[in-house]
Structure 1
Amino acid sequence: MRSGDEDQINNSMQELFSAVANMEFPKSEEEKLSDSLLQQCRKEGICFCKDGELPKDHKKCCRVLERFIQQSEDARNRYSGWSLVDLKTELKQRQIPMPKPKKRSKPVITKLLQQSDSQIPFRLMDLPSEVRLRIYEHMLVDSSKQDISPSCGIETRRPSLLRTSRQVRDEAMPVFYGANRFRFALPHLDLNHKCEQWFSGRDKIWLDVIGPDNIKLLRRISFRLMSSYFEEFDLQIDLASRSINTWVIPVNSGRYLCPCKSLEKRTLMQWGEHMSDEVKPEAKENFFSYIDKLSETAKQAIQDFQALCGGGREVQPTAAGLDILARAAHAILDHRASWVFYCTDLGGLMDFDSDEDEEDDDEDEGDDEEDEG
């Protein structure tokens, strides 16, 4: 139950959203402002989903929302702070006929200037390359920070901006493939199963379509594994990094939480330390040993990947290199999914040495057969 103060604060913040909805401007502008507010709120950690929590600093959040609204209003009308003299001067400089004396009011002159603005041609290629790159980032990079997934049917076709001209495509393609994070689905297999093809279905088709030239532009990827317990586990990887500290697990991995929560991430070691409190006491020693094994798996995958594709700024990923990372990610996520079931109150104690026990059993069976012979 929420206290009376929290309800009052929540109502106040809802009133801010209602004020936005009641602003008088075209529907399209209202939708853009609403989307912008939601995105900015997520960046500030303000969440109104059913799984979210009330922000700790409510007054600050209210001020943030008010600032967003004011900024949106100012952006919608760039002449709102201009004096009548400034408006007339701007009108003369553009050689726009001055209205009759009785109609020389701020609203009338502002409308004339806005009409003139809409008729000014915009030449993208006349801008400096640095400015063009910022425009490409604004247009092509997903501001919600969510992964782009071919396997889940999320739109991954080449954006229309990349089809305007060859020069724009050559400049913007590295931004689209390099700044966004692309998520691939991993098959749910037994830990000892040997998989020859880690990418299949839509993921495989998408990689074939974009081809080697665009695969080498990828810099940020993630892998998702759907466990047998119908929970999703993610692992995010920075392809240019040589450190396993860039292999991170979102805190909502394995739980259905608001996307706002996915902005918080932990490395493999941080995740192990955080989750160790939930491990049964009799499993703690084996659990930390198991975390070390997962770290070694990640380190070996990084070495193999960089031996094939390079590292740092010179990295050029290939389909074969992504296979190396997919294999390691599957081992890490599948072990993690098993831990969630066996190491917590959901189930029994997980046997971290199951692989070694199976090998010992095989050897014992072989010895028995020799004795019988």
Structure 2
Amino acid sequence: MEVTQVKQVIPVTPPDLTEKNLDKLAEYVFNQLENCRSRPWICACRYEYINNLRLGYLNCLTIPDQSSLRRSSRIRDHSDRLSHHRAACQKVYGILYRDDLRRIPYLTWSDDVLVTSLKQRRITLPRQRVRAVYVSKLQHADVTRTFAFMDLPQEIRLMVYEFALQFDEDFYTKKPYGLKPATKPALLQTCSQIREEATPIFYRINRFLLRFGKDDSATSCRTLSWMKRYVSATDLQNLRYITLSSFHYGWSYHIKIDLNCRDPLKWTLQCNHESRHNLSCNNHYPLSEESTVMQERYPRRNCALAKHHQNAGLVAANLAAAHKAIGELWEACGENGRIKPSFAGLLDFVGAVKDINTNLTQR
């Protein structure tokens, strides 16, 4: 089997700052704003100002033809709007170009390095000795290259699966709203042999998010509905790491659990304040704290839910309930010193931990 990369990133086209047609400049801005929106890792706050300029509205304004209005005033007004549009073009281009530099390393290379790389990879130098052509040639070589992956020893393939199938845990814990549950990635759909070898690794190394609700009966359906749809009972037995989450008044609470660990003192509770900025934005400063679930925890003063710290009785009650929940899960799903989760066992476990979570986060 040969593995091929098929997507080539096209760098953004710079604006023509010599253009004097306001409509064409505005069209460039609107098209590049759509380009920004298509890249979810670019935070909206970076182009919010440009989005609110209402360039289309300004273009519709015509200079009134009045005898009292001097021609110099009309020219100055047109010149100001032209500068306004050009500045917007430069701003949106700068946002996308900096993102291209991060996604296309070749853009940061010098011409000599690009030519050397082309020669080393035995790529014929193009007739057009233009930097953009060099970059395009190298990108094309990247996306069309092939590799006989299945010829590697199985031990090496398993190591590759662990790196390729690991997803970002922070993405799931810090951006909970509107997030679709993880199903099977594209690598597991390439062929039956890869699917058979890599699927157990995918469920064993990743942490999966299960959400709480207010209603116990509704929670049971929502929490595991996507698992029942996308995960087979055999694959579910490889599940090890889960995060149980709930949301209250702009704050999210995540209990991180290792199902193979029978000691609830090692569970951790992470609290995050929801931000309108994405994780890559410089303006993203999440107010968060993380602690062992069962220890006394002092919330931040600026948290609307901040109350007095837990009393000893609540800590003891939560600890006893947690021991009971994990113990019942092991009794139902434990086998030969290893946990093999089932849908019924996880459903009971989630219900038991939900009560503990409510006491912890709403005290």
Q: Place the TM-score, normalised by the shorter chain, in its bin.
A: 0.5 to 0.7
Amino acid at match of 1:308: A
Confirm or deny: 8 A CA contact 2:118 2:138 kept in the other structure. Answer: no
Deviation at 1:226, TM superposition (A): 6.2
- Is 1:316 aligned with 2:301? no
- Is 1:243 aligned with 2:263? yes
Confirm or deny: 8 A CA contact 1:237 1:247 kept in the other structure. Answer: yes
Measured in 1, the distance between the counterparts of 2:312 and 2:221 equals: 36
Unaligned segments of structure 1, at least 5 residues: 1-20, 39-46, 49-67, 190-196, 340-373
Matched with 1:170 is 196
1:135 to 155, 158, 164: 164
Measured in 1, the distance between the counterparts of 2:111 and 2:265 equals: 48
**Deviation string, structure 1 residues 315-368 (Cα, Å, up to 9, x no partner):** 3212233234223312212323552xxxxxxxxxxxxxxxxxxxxxxxxxxxxx
1:183 to 210, 224, 228: 210
Matched with 1:206 is 226
Alignment of 1:144-163 (within 5 A): 144-146=171-173, 154-163=180-189
Matched with 1:288 is 312
Amino acid at match of 1:222: T
Measured in 2, the distance between the counterparts of 1:36 and 1:153 equals: 14
2:244 to 192, 201, 223: 223
TM-score (norm 2): 0.55
Give the SS at the match of 1:269: coil
Q: Percent identity?
A: 20
Confirm or deny: 8 A CA contact 1:147 1:181 kept in the other structure. Answer: no
Give the SS at the match of 1:218: coil
Amino acid at match of 1:135: A
Amino acid at match of 1:223: L
CA 1:155–1:279 in structure 2 vs 1: closer, same or farther (change >3 Å)?
closer
1:75 to 96, 105, 109: 105
Give the SS at the match of 2:212: strand
Give the SS at the match of 1:240: coil
Could you say which structure has the higher strand fraction? 2
Matched with 1:12 is none
CA 1:131–1:113 in structure 2 vs 1: closer, same or farther (change >3 Å)?
same
Matched with 1:89 is 119
Confirm or deny: 8 A CA contact 2:209 2:245 kept in the other structure. Answer: no
TM-score (norm 1): 0.54
Amino acid at match of 1:169: R
Give the SS at the match of 1:273: coil
Matched with 1:297 is 321
CA RMSD of aligned residues (A): 4.8
Measured in 1, the distance between the counterparts of 2:37 and 2:162 equals: 22
Amino acid at match of 1:236: K
CA 1:126–1:85 in structure 2 vs 1: closer, same or farther (change >3 Å)?
same
CA 1:273–1:215 in structure 2 vs 1: closer, same or farther (change >3 Å)?
same
Confirm or deny: 8 A CA contact 2:212 2:244 kept in the other structure. Answer: yes
Unaligned segments of structure 2, at least 5 residues: 1-10, 16-30, 47-97, 280-285
Give the SS at the match of 2:341: coil
Amino acid at match of 2:165: Y
CA 1:117–1:181 in structure 2 vs 1: closer, same or farther (change >3 Å)?
closer
Give the SS at the match of 1:206: helix
Amino acid at match of 1:250: Q
Measured in 2, the distance between the counterparts of 1:203 and 1:180 equals: 15
Matched with 1:360 is none
Confirm or deny: 8 A CA contact 1:220 1:239 kept in the other structure. Answer: yes
- Is 1:325 aligned with 2:349? yes
Confirm or deny: 8 A CA contact 1:251 1:266 kept in the other structure. Answer: no
Deviation at 1:267, TM superposition (A): 1.5
Could you say which structure has the higher helix fraction? 1
Confirm or deny: 8 A CA contact 1:181 1:221 kept in the other structure. Answer: yes
**Deviation string, structure 1 residues 84-136 (Cα, Å, up to 9, x no partner):** 77256336x35x3x556xx5566655544444444323554356412343223
Measured in 2, the distance between the counterparts of 1:32 and 1:89 equals: 37
- Is 1:268 aligned with 2:293? yes
Confirm or deny: 8 A CA contact 2:294 2:318 kept in the other structure. Answer: no
Deviation at 1:290, TM superposition (A): 1.2
CA 1:338–1:202 in structure 2 vs 1: closer, same or farther (change >3 Å)?
closer
CA 1:245–1:82 in structure 2 vs 1: closer, same or farther (change >3 Å)?
farther
**Higher relative contact order, chain-length normalized (CA < 8 Å, sep 6+):** 2
Give the SS at the match of 1:294: helix
Give the SS at the match of 2:340: coil
How many aligned positions are there? 270
Confirm or deny: 8 A CA contact 1:217 1:317 kept in the other structure. Answer: yes
Amino acid at match of 1:136: L
Deviation at 1:294, TM superposition (A): 0.8
Deviation at 1:237, TM superposition (A): 1.9
CA 1:99–1:333 in structure 2 vs 1: closer, same or farther (change >3 Å)?
closer
Give the SS at the match of 2:298: helix
